[in-house]
Amino acid sequence: MALLRPRTVVLVSGAALLARRALRRRIARSPLWPLPALPEPISGHAKRRTTSARRLLITGRTVVADGVVQLRLEGAGLPRWEPGAHLELVLPSGLVRPYSLCGDPEDTGAYTVAARLVEDGRGGSREVHEQLRVGREIEVRGPRNRFPLTEAGSYVFVVGGIGITPVLPMLRVLAASGADWRLLYGGRSRGSLPFLDEIEWLGADAGRVTVVAQDEAGHPDVAAALTGLAPGTAVYCCGPGPLMDAVAAALPAGHPLHLERFSAATGEAAGPGSGAFEVELRRTGRTVPVAAGQSVLAAVRAAAPQVAYSCEQGFCGTCQQRVLEGEIDHRDDLLTDDERADSMLICVSRCRGGRLVLDL
């Protein structure tokens, strides 16, 4: 029997080689099976998959403020991350939601995230609160960082509620280094502000932290916080859309503004590209019309229902697609400048002309 094993291996290998050759010939002959015989597709966020998905075990669940839970997700040999990074959680329903990492970047055995329950949201936060319990495994993607801590002479942070999660690791780094920083931290009440005790401790030595609870003092004075900034001061903001809009409006010229937005931008005016247009799906050979009040995602999924999506608000990146032709009207705050050159989030972004061609 031992003499037959090499022959068996040769026969099996030969059969596999012939099958692969037959498959390539079939694809070359038929442009519709299984997809047009074009170059290797890179649509659907290949650029974003810089780190592989992995399954982590939930080993800790702590209530850190009213309506806010913190989860500890353990695994072996996890990639290190920099302050400002976030993790994408694939929830039990299949929804994908990003949550900022708020633990220790040097801890390669666990990631820590925190989520606020949004009662009138689209269901993601409710899944986190009701279904993600200690002992359950969850798939995660990342980490990725679109909100990095840059070098600056000084820093001002304006944060609302759960927006503190990406900022907290930054404050730890700056406090340890002796950097010049200030924080304006607002929310509905002191009980709703996550990690408040640690934050006040970090800034206690120089009165760096100003806490404004709406039930005590109304809304924070954003303009006052941004008055008299030293040259080169970097301003960071994370929180509700109206807060970020207020910071952008009040920021003096010459100061870099860094925003982290996990919800759709507010106050978008209808501009170029808001009308109807058409989208060609190059690989499937179909062209679909996109009505003035319809998203590209909705139009495309009518023809290609397998296209992945999640948030439908332009902040998770699941629906990112490569654009082969046409001028994009970007309406997200997620993609980098390099990604914007040849891709778009089809749930919110549109066309500035009459036609787009997607690598689908």
User: Tens digits of per-residue pLDDT, 67-112?
Assistant: 999 999 999 999 999 999 999 999 998 888 889 999 999 999 999 9
The torsion angles phi and psi of 44, rounded to 5 degrees, stand at: 80, 25
Q: What DSSP letter does each residue of 80-137 carry, written as one string? A: P--TT-EEEEE-TTS-EEEEEB-S-TT-TTEEEEEEE--TTS-SHHHHHHHH--TT-E
pLDDT in the model for residue 260: 84
pLDDT over threshold 70, residue 119: yes
Closest C-alpha to 102, from 54, 165, 42:
165
Task: Report which DSSP code applies to 17.
Answer: H
Quote the pTM value.
Answer: 0.73
pLDDT in the model for residue 337: 83
pLDDT in the model for residue 317: 80
Q: State the Cα–Cα distance between residues 112 and 322, nearest whole angstrom.
A: 32
Q: Where are the alpha helices (DSSP H) in the chain?
A: 4-29, 124-131, 164-177, 196-202, 214-217, 222-225, 241-250, 296-303, 337-340
280: its two tokens: 């060609």
Q: pLDDT digit string (tens) for 206-247?
A: 889 999 999 998 999 999 999 999 998 999 999 988 899 999
Q: State the Cα–Cα distance between residues 189 and 217, nearest whole angstrom.
A: 10
Closest C-alpha to 99, from 56, 131, 141:
141
> How does strand 86-90 pair with strand 68-74?
unpaired
Closest C-alpha to 95, from 315, 300, 248:
315
pLDDT in the model for residue 334: 77
pLDDT in the model for residue 48: 46
Q: State the Cα–Cα distance between residues 349 and 337, nearest whole angstrom.
A: 14
Closest C-alpha to 72, from 126, 132, 127, 124:
132
Neighbours of 325 (CB within 10 A): 12
The torsion angles phi and psi of 326, rounded to 5 degrees, stand at: 105, 160
pLDDT in the model for residue 315: 73
Stronger pLDDT, 33 or 44, i.e. the higher one: 44
Q: Is 188 exposed, middle or buried (0-12, 13-18, 19+ CB in 10 A)?
A: middle
Which residue is listed with tokens 């800034």?
A: 203
Q: Is 42 helix (H, G, I), strand (E, B) or coil?
A: coil
pLDDT in the model for residue 274: 72
pLDDT in the model for residue 17: 52
